[in-house]
Amino acid sequence: MNMSMRRRRAARPGMSGRRLLKAQGALAGGLVVAVLVKEFPGIVRELRIYRMTGGLRARRRYP
């Protein structure tokens, strides 16, 4: 049995570790982007309320 035959048998079909890691990173990044896009209107609304109440300068008015 020559070496090339052994190497061919040892290689498993499927995804390599690097490809799997890239796929997981892409999935996680997509999930983060989706959550940010979904929550963006609420974040903008909260920032407007924060600015209307005075922000950091309003400590004395709103304990």
Note the pLDDT tens digit of each residue in 1-52: 555 555 555 556 777 999 999 999 999 999 999 999 999 999 999 999 988 8
Q: What one-character DSSP code corresponds to residue 62? A: -
14-48 as b/e: b if 16+ CB within 10 A: eeeeeeeeeeeeeeeeeeeeeeeeeeeeeeeeeee
pLDDT at position 30, please? Answer: 97
Helix, strand or coil, per DSSP, at residue 47? helix
Higher-scoring residue by pLDDT: 58, 44: 44
